[in-house]
Every structure is written in structure tokens, then in C-alpha cells.
Structure 1
Amino acid sequence: MITDADVRLAAARIAGKVRRTPVFFAGPAWFKCEFMQHTGSFKARGALNRILAAQESGELDPAAGIVIASGGNAGLANAYAATQIGVPATVFVPETAPAFKVAKLRAMGAQVLQRGSEYAEAFLAATEHAAATGAILSHAYDQAEIVAGAGTVATELLDQRDGAVDTVIVAVGGGGLMAGVAAAVAGMARVIAVEPDSIPTLHTALAKGGPVDIAVSGVAADSLGARRLGDIAYQVATNTGVQSVLVSDDDLVRARRDLWEGWRIVAEHGAAAPLAALTAQAYKPEPGERVALIICGANTDPSDL
């Protein structure tokens, strides 16, 4: 179980290595602008915490570095973190990964290896690489240091608001961000977890009594497309009383456009999920409720805004 103590330790470890992203009031809620983080998403926090923790413990072999399976935000974040610490990064992606993502990872300094046609095959190759080379394996969302690092966005938010937050609304894919946030604010604020009805990993896990594989589809599949909720995320969600709500793809498209038209924020569809929960009334705050939305990622094609 990840606790607020783990998140505070992560915050101290990565202090000065991540951006303190802005918070501003935007009509119905406060926006935490984590899309302005290094590499364009919150993922840099967990990646840095994972590598620095391994360095502290002696687990990190500077020559072998780190390995991860991810062609998206987690891969970019780990490539960036490895560069900052001065160790090599190997990123496994499926052979179907878009060429621009592969190019971006290589531009970050990572060795990119393509294996299989699905994420699961790339992940298996990454685990085999870790076992063969001694590189530390970094998970996209279901790893203690990754979750604790992600949670530092919430400790930062509480500090910036002097604790004046009743509710934090956050998107869910594999659940690492949600779990970190829920651990960080436990006993101080409630957490509303939002996911597309086309990728209901948390919603299904809560209904079934544990994480299960689901089908992945919809406009947010590129950022929230985990097939299964992480075990850590499920444990934290059930222990802290996280509330799950669903939104439609149409809700996400409208909310993403609203972020652009209202505040000139370029966000991924998945990052628009917290606003979608409000605008679609999947979550209805009480009068006077102090709500904060974590806008978590900006790695998107802006041409369709």
C-alpha cells in the first residue's frame, strides 16, 4: 500500500528536478497545469523517483541503465529522466508504434527496440532485457516508486492552495496517477477518478472485486489505453474510497475543445477527462465545494482542436 509518507519521500527525492507546475482558477474549478511538466506529462515525476530510488539503494547499474515498455508518455518520461541522471535508457515499443513517437524517443537519447504487435509483447521483451542486462525495469504505472512519484503532483497542489482543496478530479488509465493522488490527499480531500466508458479499467475492477482485462477503444486510447488497472491502483482506490465516474468519447472531445477555446490549453483527450466529468455532470460538486482538476498531459496533435 502506497501512503502519503511514500509520496512525501518521493517529493523530497525529486525536488529541484521537476517543474512546479502552475495552478489557476478557471470558472468551476482550479486547474493544476501538469501538462507543462517535463516531456509534457506528469510521468516525469514517477520516472525520476524510480531511477533516483534505485540509485540510492544501489540497484541501479550505471552502465545498464533503465528499460521500459512504452511508446507513449511513460517512455518519453523515462528517457528524459535517464538523460538527466546520466544513464542509458532502452525503450521497447510494438512494431506498430507510430514513427513519430519512435523518432521522439530516439531524439530524447533512448535506444528504441521494436518487438511484437502489442504492448504485452513489448513488455515481455523489456522484462527479458532487464533480466539479461541488469537494467532496472520501470513500469508505466504499476510500480511503487512510479505511483509515489506521480502523487507528488497532489502534494504540490495542496501546498499551492494552502490545503484549500475538497476534491481532486483525475483521469484514470492504468491508475498510477490516481493512486498517487489518492495516497497523497487521504484524509484531506476526496478523489474522483474519471475514465472513458470505452476503457473502464477502474470502474470494472471495482465492480468485479479486482483488476481484470478489458477491451480498449475510443479517442483516449493513446493515453488512457491500459487493458488492466494496476494492482497498486486497485488497492489504493479501495482503501481510500476513490469514487469512479465515466464519461463518453463525445464528452472528452468537447472538454478537450473547451480547454483550448476557453484557456488555450492544448491537452490530450485523456487529460481532458477531469473537465469532462464536470461539463457532462458525471460529477456534480456541492455549492462551495473547492474542486481541483489535474490536467495531466499535452502530447497530442493540435490540428483537430
Structure 2
Amino acid sequence: MEQHSERQFDYAAVRAAADRIAGGIRPVAVAPAAEGLWYALEHLQHTGSFKARGALNFLAAHHAAGTLPVAGVTIASGGNAGLACAWAARTHAVPATVFLPENAPRVKVERLRGYGARVRLAGDRYAEAQAACQEFAASSGALSSHAYDHPLVAAGAGTLLDEIRAALPGLDTVVVAVGGGGLLAGIATAAREQGVHVVAAEPENSRALNAALAAGRPVDVPVDSVAADSLGATRVSADALAAARAAHVESVLVPDAAVTAARRTLWEEHRIVVEAAAATALAALQAAPRPPGERVAVVLCGANTDPADLAAPAA
């Protein structure tokens, strides 16, 4: 029986996750965008976002340890983590019950049901959906997962960095959007090991990591952003803050207008459709350009969005 520690989170955990999920996820594709700039096309991942990595690692670890209950798994999510959890649960033939805020994008709700998940809507903020999820886990016996604040989830997300480096030898900098910090925690942990600089991108009005760095501890922040459905965590995880401080992560804030413009740029110049969270990473690079000669990868982390608003206006 495989042993794992849910408290351990370091580069060894990221490497263990890579072994555990090998063959189950799509290795990231990397595409050139401009001189010295590449896009890591993680929006092409199973379920449309990087979240598949952490969800599969979480469930595979519990399955191997014999701790995956018949009642299945439950999670609260703005959408992407729920999709990933439902997909991973289906691979292990256990039910998934997903709690979302009532304002979750319809495209994500419909996809969740398509994966066979039981969808429960609760409140209008992630924190309210999380509280309902915890109550359900206690009463049902389902295994409680988390959208970002869990070492197995963060370690799975961190596998992305080594794949990018394998595709781009000599990578200097990776730019990644931050919500609750699962992806940032994993990538920063791996990046520190590999000597890669990390730029953490957040909307100005959804800045959980930036506020935590300023306060020296995770703190609650208000959330009001075009990217709130994916980057709407009110508090960053302690693992993300610790990884960001250890790796000397650069925090960059961008206005919603820049996020919307970056999303349209990706569509108009490359015919890439991503959600606002993914565009936040590109917006941060545009706001804080890297020095000439750097090899930079921007992580396009998710594509669960309605592309209708990208259509050209009628003439």
C-alpha cells in the first residue's frame, strides 16, 4: 500500500505526484508567442484547466492508501476544481458531489453534470459553498477535497513546472495567475528547486496573495473582479504564502480592464480562447515586462468560459 503524508509539501511531493499521475494527464504543450515568450497551453488539459493534475493526485493517493470511501468525494469550487474532481472521481468509479456558488458560470455547471457529478449550489461566494461542503462531508462520510488548500492538490499542480522546463530548456521566468494559491504553491516550490523566477499575477480587486505578502500571513480580502469565478478566493493558502516567500516570488497586480484586453489579445492574435484567470497572467507580463534575453513562459491555466463575448461586433 502506498504511503503518503497529507501534511508534507515540498519538491519531493511534487516529484511523487508526477509519478502518481503519469499517463493520466496530458503533458503540457508549449507554443512560441513572440521573441523570448512562450505560452504553456495548460487550458488544453483534461477538464479544461490545470486542476486535473491536483485532483487526480489527490484521489490516486487516497485510492492507493485505501482511504477512498464508497461515499466518494466532495469539494467546493468556483467551477474548475469541481470539474477536475468530478473527472478524477469518475476514473476511480466513485461519486463526486460538488458545491458551487449560485453565481457560478452556467458553462461550468453544465459540464459538471456532464461528468456525472451531483451539483449543489450554495450562497454567492466560495466561502459559503465551502461551508456547505464541509457539512455534507461530515454527514455523508464523503472524502473532503479542497480547490487549492491541500498538499496533494498543490503538489499535483506543481508537476506543470517541470514539464514546461523540459519543453523550454533554459527557462528563466514563469508567469502564473493566483487565486487561492494551489497552482502557485506547486509551481513556486518546483521553481525554487530549478532556479526559475516566478511572477504571480492577480487582479487588483482579488489580491489574496499580494495582501498576505504585505501582512506576513494569510488575510481575508474583498473580491470584485472579472476573474472572480476562478481567482475569487478570499484568503490564500498558508502553503502558497510560504512557497512564495521562500522562492522570492514577484507579485504583480493588474486592473480588470487589462485582463479583459489580454483575453481578447489571445483570441485576436492567436485564436486562443481562455477564461479571465488565464488572461490575468498575460496581463501581468504586459504590465511588468521582463528584461531582454529572458526566456519567459506564461501559463494559460484554464479555458472553461463562454467564448460568445469574444465574437467580433456586428458591422
Query: In structure 2, which of residues 277, 291, 295 is the aligned counterpart of residue 290 of structure 1?
Result: 295
Contact 2:273 2:303 survives alignment (8 Å): yes
C-alpha deviation, 1:96, in angstroms: 4.3
Contact 2:76 2:100 survives alignment (8 Å): yes
- SS for the counterpart of 1:141 is coil
Moved more, 94-103 or 10-19: 94-103
C-alpha deviation, 1:103, in angstroms: 2.8
Unpaired segments ≥5 residues, structure 1: none
Match status 1:239 vs 2:246: yes
Which digits, 9 at most, give the CA deviation of each residue in 1:118-153, with x for residues without a partner? 322221221122223322111001100010001111
Query: In structure 2, which of residues 9, 14, 26 is the aligned counterpart of residue 7 of structure 1?
Result: 14
Match status 1:208 vs 2:220: no
C-alpha deviation, 1:25, in angstroms: 1.3
Contact 1:8 1:155 survives alignment (8 Å): no
C-alpha deviation, 1:98, in angstroms: 4.8
Aligned partner of 2:53 in structure 1 is: 45
Aligned partner of 1:102 in structure 2 is: 109
TM-score of the two chains, using structure 2 as the length reference:
0.91
Q: Measure, in 2, the Cα distance between the counterparts of 1:287 and 1:180.
A: 27
Q: Measure, in 2, the Cα distance between the counterparts of 1:116 and 1:251.
A: 29
Q: Measure, in 1, the Cα distance between the counterparts of 2:104 and 2:176.
A: 26
Query: How many percent identity over aligned positions?
Result: 53
One-letter code aligned to 1:296: C
Unpaired segments ≥5 residues, structure 2: 1-7, 311-315
Contact 2:175 2:285 survives alignment (8 Å): no
One-letter code aligned to 1:17: G
Alignment of 1:117-196 (within 5 A): 117-162=124-169, 164-187=170-193, 188-196=195-203
Contact 1:2 1:236 survives alignment (8 Å): no
Moved more, 1-10 or 98-107: 98-107
Contact 2:14 2:155 survives alignment (8 Å): yes
Query: In structure 2, which of residues 63, 67, 74 is the aligned counterpart of residue 59 of structure 1?
Result: 67
- SS for the counterpart of 2:28 is coil
Q: Measure, in 2, the Cα distance between the counterparts of 1:209 and 1:177.
A: 20
- SS for the counterpart of 2:97 is strand
Moved more, 86-95 or 43-52: 86-95
Aligned partner of 2:84 in structure 1 is: 77
CA-based RMSD = 1.5
Contact 2:107 2:304 survives alignment (8 Å): no
C-alpha deviation, 1:299, in angstroms: 0.9
Match status 1:257 vs 2:264: yes
One-letter code aligned to 2:220: D
Number of positions where the alignment pairs a residue of Structure 1 with one of Structure 2: 301
Q: Measure, in 2, the Cα distance between the counterparts of 1:274 and 1:124.
A: 29
One-letter code aligned to 1:255: A
Q: Measure, in 2, the Cα distance between the counterparts of 1:278 and 1:238.
A: 20
C-alpha deviation, 1:15, in angstroms: 0.5
TM-score of the two chains, using structure 1 as the length reference:
0.94
